[in-house]
Amino acid sequence: MDRIIVERIVCYAFHGVMLEEQSLGQEFQVSLELGVDLSGHNSDQIDGAVDYRVAIAIVEEVMYGSSCRLLETLACRIADRLLALEGVIEAAVEVRKPNPPIPGVQGGVSVMVSRGR
């Protein structure tokens, strides 16, 4: 399977379990891996291709939409929406908090989900 990879879409949003996260917000990073079939691709035109600008817009709609407590919820919502795009066979989504308000965690936390048709 062929892949389209979009790394680190940065959003400042208001998700989290703690009230401070919901009111103050924080940076989130979202990365995508879209499984597509490019075997018949012979054109250099956007028509007929998976437009990853649309995928990025979906990420932004979810991230700037209704507040969620869990990264898992955000990742699942994004993956489900991406699978609805024509030409996307699989969608892997990583949602990352680079600076979670958890003592001792310095490398961030993330959730990755993968969905397929």
> Which residue is associated with the tokens 């989290």?
16
Q: Is residue 87 within 8 Å of 50, Cβ to Cβ?
A: yes
Task: State how far the Cα of 69 lies from the Cα of 72, in Å rounded to an integer.
Answer: 9
H or E element that contains 83: helix 71-83
Q: Which residue is catalytic, options 71, 97, 100, 113?
A: 97
27 a catalytic residue: no
| Catalytic machinery residues | 97
